[in-house]
Amino acid sequence: MIKMKLFFSSIIILFFTNLWSSNTVPSIADGPYVNYRDKQIVVTTIYHDGNGKKYVGADSFAVSSKKSIELLVPTDEAGKNFVVKFKSKLENEKAEYNKVKKQFIVSDIEANFKAFRTLLQANGVIDENLDWTFGEGHLVLTGDFFDRGNQLNEVLWLIYSLEDKANAAKGYVHFILGNHEVMNLNADLRYVHPKYHENAQLMNRTYLSLFGDDTELGRWLRTKNIIERVGDMLCMHGGVSRYLNIMGLSLTEINGLARPYYADTSYNYPNVQTEIMFSDQGPLWYRGYYAGPANERATQGQVDSSLQLFRAKYIATGHTIVAHTVGLYFNGKVFNTDVPHAQGISEAILIEDNKFFKVNLKGERKEMVVEKS
């Protein structure tokens, strides 16, 4: 039975115990948002009432019941939702992964759930039920899944749910943060879709609080890295500048320096090394492989130094659109995965049997060749 309490001032409806299992749930407009408060898990969802208006539903559970809770998440298809279960625990990701059989690398989805879903389904990473079908493969997401689009929560909860499903098949999902993930944590909200400010206001909250450290997604995001080596591939959003090379840090040290400051809104970093992590010379923001003044552009020597330092053979980045298609640069050593998904141009990189393919929304694959840098 659903118990209901109506507050006319804010048109808030509180739903309790059977909210997630019912097939009669109203159309979901946004969410769910999960907060931890006084040994309670509070799940908040925004619904459509069928007449163009939105209202808020909230459900409270004891933390001890966490394993049995199922979250209902909407998709890009009307009336079609998927179920997410909580992780048993959240831990910081490690920075290096060996013996990787195949990889699927995609970036810059920017809250475009339809493009993300279709790209994964068309290329055998997930099925029509959004379940993992990539076996022991690694799905590598190189940042900027936040901002601009209007289905952010759908994208995040899909990634969240795929992690456990991949692990069960001995595969893995790597969600490597980009500059837009960090911007959303540290209050640089220039590119947030207006929908989310409106919905935060409807819930009597600030947008920044939606991913605070008292939320499930906020805690989960804080476990993620800004750079990883996945097999032979060094993966990050922006790139590795010569300054990062000179610092001589390990991948674990780089992530360790950056993680405490993902949500720091003061921008007062304790040392030069940490400041570089969040500058245009750090892994989140660097564009030197593809853009900038000629005398500041990356060189082949710089790329080779990075690969030697981090014991990799290749580099995969997003962040900078070069040719509206994924590309291979620097004598076949640097992969760019940033494409304009919002324009219907969605591509990714598939690495399988030591071959590199660009793949698209139709599941077509084409072996990659080196582009002129």
Q: What is the DSSP string of 276-324?
A: HHTSTTSTTT--TTT-S-GGGS--HHHHHHHHHHTT-SEEEE-S--SSS
pLDDT, residue 52, reads: 82
Q: Could you report the per-residue pLDDT of 274-321, keeping only the tens digit for each?
A: 999 999 999 999 999 999 998 889 999 999 999 999 999 999 999 999
Q: 226: which DSSP letter?
A: S
pLDDT, residue 21, reads: 38
- Count the Cβ atoms, other than its own, within 10 Å of residue 264: 15
Please, which pLDDT band fits residue 26 given cuts at 50, 70 and 90?
A: confident
Query: Model pTM?
Result: 0.92
Question: What are φ and ψ of residue 6, in 5° steps?
Answer: -110, 125
Report whether 319 contacts 338 (CB < 8 A).
yes
Report whether 277 contacts 257 (CB < 8 A).
yes
Q: Could you report the per-residue pLDDT of 98-121, keeping only the tens digit for each?
A: 999 999 999 999 999 999 999 999
pLDDT, residue 121, reads: 98
CA distance linking residue 169 with residue 107, whole number of Å: 23
Mean pLDDT computed over 154-168: 98
Mean pLDDT computed over 78-91: 96
pLDDT, mean over the chain? 92
Please, which pLDDT band fits residue 4 given cuts at 50, 70 and 90?
A: very low
Q: Where are the domains of the chain?
A: 6-85, 96-367
Kindly state which CATH superfamily the domain 96-367 is placed in.
Metallo-dependent phosphatases (3.60.21.10)
High-pLDDT (> 70) share of the chain, %? 93
Would strands 102-106 and 347-352 be described as parallel, antiparallel, or unpaired?
Answer: antiparallel
On the question of pLDDT at 369 being above 90, the answer is no
Structure tokens at 343: 């324009």
Q: Exposed, middle or buried by CB within 10 Å (0-12, 13-18, 19+), for 62?
A: exposed
Structure tokens at 2: 């659903």
CA distance linking residue 145 with residue 353, whole number of Å: 28
3-state secondary structure (DSSP) of residue 36: strand
Structure tokens at 147: 């901002």
3-state secondary structure (DSSP) of residue 253: helix
- Tokens 């220039």 correspond to what residue? 190
Structure tokens at 100: 């990787």
Please state the length of the chain: 373
pLDDT, residue 232, reads: 97
